[in-house]
Chains A and B, each alone.
Chain A
Amino acid sequence: MRIGAVLILWLLPWMVAAQDWEDRQVFGAGDVSLRILSSTDTSFFAPIIEDFLRGRTDVSVEYLVTGTADLDARFRAAPDGFDVVISSAMDLQLKLANDGFAAQVSDTGHPAWAKWRDSLFAFTAEPAAIVINRRGLGALPVPQTRQDMIALMRDHSQVFEGRVGTYDVRQSGLGYLFATQDARASETYWRLIEVMGRMGAHLYCCSGAMIDDLVSGDLVVAYNVLGSYAEARAEEEDALLVILPSEFPTTMMRTVLVSGKTRAPDLADAFVRHVLAVQASGDAERFPLPSLTAAQRNPTIISLDPALMTYLDQMKRAIFIREWEDAILQDG
């Protein structure tokens, strides 16, 4: 627990102060600039932005990528520095909207369940997946549920020892969202984390890093990896196997909002409408992320409502992190 607290104390100022980005790209050469703060890898958004810039020669888009927790901290610190905020951490996004950081974009025709107060718009439905390196698993059966995974790790600890990974919920907003929603849905989550802790689980800031280690063979199995990212990599890497837990696939919706203090309100408004429009078009070329239409009204989708703020409560968060650390950091 102490280590966790120290880690947070050490990480937070570093994260907030850091002016380097996971990725930073500028599209277009126009004078009017639109700054997009995002947690989504640039490769997924490039076609959407290029589509948006078509016919807007005077506009340039600066696309800044960082982790969800860092994104939230940076945006809260300087809401006038960014025009559009895209994040997979629904809870943090909802709290931003609730706290008045978002501007309204009205009459979008977007379904009511996929928006909140006309200021926060969900535009993807992405499940959290169990991703496996087939080669690492060898002849062992492929787990289909969390229960399967627990049993497999217990019975074949020599295979998994030091080769399992999941989100570090202290660092990643999305990881924290997945973890809290899992814990809310079932007690199995805690048993799973405990077993993973016993296996000496590696903790990651982001899905990309987990997939990299799976591909390299450092990991055999990773839990709560973003399915969309894993699927994209699995197309190239035969060894990757993406499994949606059959009993309860926790499904997240990526959300977008316009900064309430944007300096380019019309452009930001137009961009959000553009994202929602290409999402609805169902054209995979223009919209490489899993659209809402594919998931429709899936009951396992985390719903956009104020209850998302529950686990963001600092006391609740402290309790949850403490329990999580107790479970996963067994030698700490």
Chain B
Amino acid sequence: MTAEVNARGSLRTRLALILTGGAAVLAVILYVAVRALSAQIAQQGQDNVLAASMSSILDSAVIRDGQVSLDFPYSSLSMLTTDADDRVFYAIREDGQLLSGYGDLEVPDAMPEGQIFTTSVMGGDPVRVATGARRLIAADGQRTVSVSVAQTQDALSNTLNGISRNVAVLGLGFFALATALATWAASDTSAQLRRLTTSVTRRGPQDLSPVARPVPSEMVPLVGSLNTFMSRLDHTLTQSEDFIAEAAHRIRTPLATVRSHAEATLQRVDRPDNRTALLSMVRAIDESSRAAGQLLDHAMVTFRAENLERVEVDIAALLAELVQRMTPIADMKDIRLELRASGSAHLLGDPILLQNAFRNLIDNALKYAPAETVVEIEVGDNSGVFVSVLDNGPGFDLDEIETLSGRFVRGRDTGNKVGSGLGLTIAQAVTEAHGGQMTLGNREGGGACALVQF
């Protein structure tokens, strides 16, 4: 019995989406940041080597015979050897005039004793250029010698690509891990809710006790109000049950008085129409009295089922006693009660409740069975105790079977039978309190069948 609930979105999906989205953003940031950092470090490495090469060339600058001359060492260029065989360019200038090297190498104006790193293009390839300058003192004045050393960036980009690949793998791994964690966190959170739902759903219809198992602190307000709500409901329910029982009890006694007065009057009245009226009065009183009795029974069943006391009950013996007690009523209707017990049938339960339930079932059968027939009661233990009550009456209306065990629900073809509509309700409540199941059905060839299985 699930009432319609408006659903929009899912906590679990939202949680998972927020967490994985965050992880994706973090992974991208990680990738970009590490790549930028490694690009910076790799570029710094290249710059250092270029600067060393440039300095070693610049250091060799001397003025010989009034001419600037640079006899730079072999190592100046050999230190620029890379795995990717990067191309190397250099330019040596004196006061801006090319002394030697590549005249088409774009170089910045270098100030003495400083280093400048620039990026330029040489023969279609990007190159990194390190430029430095030195002031030389000659007899005729100062000369400024500047040296630029340039190198293509193949090895650098190979390194960067390698790093990028590794960081990409790292980022993806991080993302995958974060996604797994997010999924786990989301399902763990929703599992808490699901567990609460399950514990509430699994309760019997009468169980209005507070939720006792521990819940996460975020759920405490929800569970707290649920508990409060249930205790209020329980209280209201108990009050109304008490009220009904009290009312039934209070009605029954005056009804008995009224009935005895009506019967006494019936003895004295001769006119047929007056007798008819009195008879139907007695009938109505009987019906009311029976209903009040059953209301009391029902209240009793509700109370005892909630606080079920389990003792070993011999169902066969219980039924035998019950049949014996009901035989006079059956005899009055010319119906024979027949108990068939196959083996022993023992059950842990409340004998008073069980007796009450079976009495209602047999009572029902007696009510609807025609005269000169047999009401069969079978009891046995077939992987669980079962009791079935079979009659030869009109049987149940198939489309009513589902609703008949509700309170005050009576079949349509009850005619003038006295009944409150509580008999099947009581039997059902008792069966369920004992963890059993009641099935209503029709026999082949006519007649009703009520089967109770534990």
- Interface residue A4 (Cβ < 8 Å from any Cβ of B): no
Are the C-beta atoms of A309 and B100 separated by less than 8 Å? Answer: no
- Interface residue A316 (Cβ < 8 Å from any Cβ of B): yes
Are the C-beta atoms of B99 and A315 separated by less than 8 Å? Answer: yes
State how many angstroms separate the Cβ of A101 from the closest Cβ of chain B.
Answer: 10
Contacts of A118 in B (CB 8 A): 85
Q: Which one, B69, B73, B75, B88, contacts A309 given CB within 8 A?
A: B88
- Interface residue A117 (Cβ < 8 Å from any Cβ of B): yes
Contacts of B70 in A (CB 8 A): 313, 315-316
B-contact bits for A174-196, CB 8 A (1 contact / 0 none): 00000000001000000000000
- Interface residue B383 (Cβ < 8 Å from any Cβ of A): no
CA distance A184 to B73 in the complex (A): 10
- Interface residue A100 (Cβ < 8 Å from any Cβ of B): yes
Are the C-beta atoms of B124 and A100 separated by less than 8 Å? Answer: yes
A93-151 residues with Cβ-Cβ distance < 8 A to B are: 98-100, 116-118
Chain B CB within 10 A, most for which of A116, A118, A315: A315
- Interface residue B81 (Cβ < 8 Å from any Cβ of A): yes
Given contacts A315-B69, A315-B92, contact A310 B77 (CB under 8 A): yes
- Interface residue B71 (Cβ < 8 Å from any Cβ of A): yes
Are the C-beta atoms of A98 and B69 separated by less than 8 Å? Answer: no
Given contacts A117-B87, A313-B100, A315-B70, contact A100 B123 (CB under 8 A): yes
- Interface residue A319 (Cβ < 8 Å from any Cβ of B): yes
State how many angstroms separate the Cβ of B33 from the closest Cβ of chain A.
Answer: 33
Are the C-beta atoms of B72 and A316 separated by less than 8 Å? Answer: yes
Contacts of B75 in A (CB 8 A): 307
* Number of A positions contacting B (CB below 8 A): 17
Given contacts A98-B87, A117-B85, contact A315 B78 (CB under 8 A): no
Contacts of B87 in A (CB 8 A): 98, 100, 117, 306
Are the C-beta atoms of B81 and A305 separated by less than 8 Å? Answer: yes
Specify the chain B residue showing the minimal Cβ separation from A318.
B69
Contacts of A98 in B (CB 8 A): 87-89
Contacts of B101 in A (CB 8 A): 313
- Interface residue A314 (Cβ < 8 Å from any Cβ of B): yes
A-contact bits for B53-79, CB 8 A (1 contact / 0 none): 000000000000000011111111110
Q: Which one, B71, B89, B92, B123, contacts A319 given CB within 8 A?
A: B71
Contacts of A306 in B (CB 8 A): 77-78, 80-81, 86-88
CA distance A99 to B104 in the complex (A): 11
Contacts of B80 in A (CB 8 A): 306-307
CA distance A319 to B73 in the complex (A): 13
State how many angstroms separate the Cβ of B301 from the closest Cβ of chain A.
Answer: 92
CA distance A268 to B77 in the complex (A): 30
Are the C-beta atoms of A307 and B123 separated by less than 8 Å? Answer: no
Tally of contacts, chain A with chain B, CB under 8 A: 57
Are the C-beta atoms of B69 and A319 separated by less than 8 Å? Answer: yes
Q: Which one, B71, B74, B81, B89, contacts A184 given CB within 8 A?
A: B74
CA distance A99 to B89 in the complex (A): 8
Specify the chain B residue showing the minimal Cβ separation from A116.
B85
Contacts of B100 in A (CB 8 A): 313-316
CA distance A118 to B76 in the complex (A): 23
**Secondary structure class of chain A's binding surface, majority of residues:** helix
Contacts of B71 in A (CB 8 A): 315-316, 319
Contacts of B89 in A (CB 8 A): 98
Are the C-beta atoms of B69 and A310 separated by less than 8 Å? Answer: no
B-contact bits for A294-332, CB 8 A (1 contact / 0 none): 000000000001110110011110010000000000000
State how many angstroms separate the Cβ of B63 from the closest Cβ of chain A.
Answer: 13
Specify the chain B residue showing the minimal Cβ separation from A100.
B123
CA distance A319 to B69 in the complex (A): 9
Chain A CB within 10 A, most for which of B85, B89, B100, B124: B85
Chain A CB within 10 A, most for which of B87, B89, B123: B87
Contacts of B99 in A (CB 8 A): 315
CA distance A201 to B131 in the complex (A): 43
Are the C-beta atoms of B69 and A307 separated by less than 8 Å? Answer: no
Contacts of A305 in B (CB 8 A): 77-78, 81, 85
Chain B CB within 10 A, most for which of A117, A307, A314: A307
Contacts of A313 in B (CB 8 A): 70, 72, 92, 100-101
Are the C-beta atoms of A307 and B77 separated by less than 8 Å? Answer: yes
State how many angstroms separate the Cβ of B77 from the closest Cβ of chain A.
Answer: 4
CA distance A251 to B78 in the complex (A): 18
Given contacts A305-B81, A315-B99, A319-B69, contact A310 B74 (CB under 8 A): yes
State how many angstroms separate the Cβ of B80 from the closest Cβ of chain A.
Answer: 5
Contacts of A100 in B (CB 8 A): 87, 123-124
A-contact bits for B144-173, CB 8 A (1 contact / 0 none): 000000000000000000000000000000
CA distance A100 to B69 in the complex (A): 28
State how many angstroms separate the Cβ of B204 from the closest Cβ of chain A.
Answer: 79
CA distance A229 to B82 in the complex (A): 34
Contacts of A319 in B (CB 8 A): 69, 71
CA distance A269 to B448 in the complex (A): 101
Specify the chain B residue showing the minimal Cβ separation from A304.
B85
Chain B CB within 10 A, most for which of A99, A118, A306, A315: A306
A264-307 residues with Cβ-Cβ distance < 8 A to B are: 305-307
Contacts of B88 in A (CB 8 A): 98, 306, 309
CA distance A66 to B99 in the complex (A): 30
State how many angstroms separate the Cβ of B104 from the closest Cβ of chain A.
Answer: 10
State how many angstroms separate the Cβ of B73 from the closest Cβ of chain A.
Answer: 8
Contacts of A314 in B (CB 8 A): 100
State how many angstroms separate the Cβ of B125 from the closest Cβ of chain A.
Answer: 8
CA distance A315 to B86 in the complex (A): 23
State how many angstroms separate the Cβ of B159 from the closest Cβ of chain A.
Answer: 17
State how many angstroms separate the Cβ of B85 from the closest Cβ of chain A.
Answer: 4
State how many angstroms separate the Cβ of A128 from the closest Cβ of chain B.
Answer: 18
Specify the chain A residue showing the minimal Cβ separation from B88.
A306
Contacts of A309 in B (CB 8 A): 77, 88
A-contact bits for B112-129, CB 8 A (1 contact / 0 none): 000000000001100000
State how many angstroms separate the Cβ of B415 from the closest Cβ of chain A.
Answer: 102
Contacts of A117 in B (CB 8 A): 84-85, 87
Q: Which one, B78, B85, B86, B92, contacts A307 given CB within 8 A?
A: B78
Chain B residues at the A interface, C-beta cutoff of 8 Å: 69-78, 80-81, 84-89, 92, 99-101, 123-124
22 pairs, A vs B, C-beta closer than 8 Å: A98-B87, A98-B88, A98-B89, A99-B123, A100-B123, A117-B85, A184-B74, A306-B77, A306-B86, A307-B74, A307-B75, A307-B76, A307-B77, A307-B78, A309-B77, A310-B74, A310-B76, A310-B78, A314-B100, A315-B71, A315-B99, A315-B100
Known: A100-B123, A306-B77, A319-B69. 6 other contacts (CB 8 A): A306-B78, A307-B75, A307-B76, A310-B77, A313-B101, A315-B71
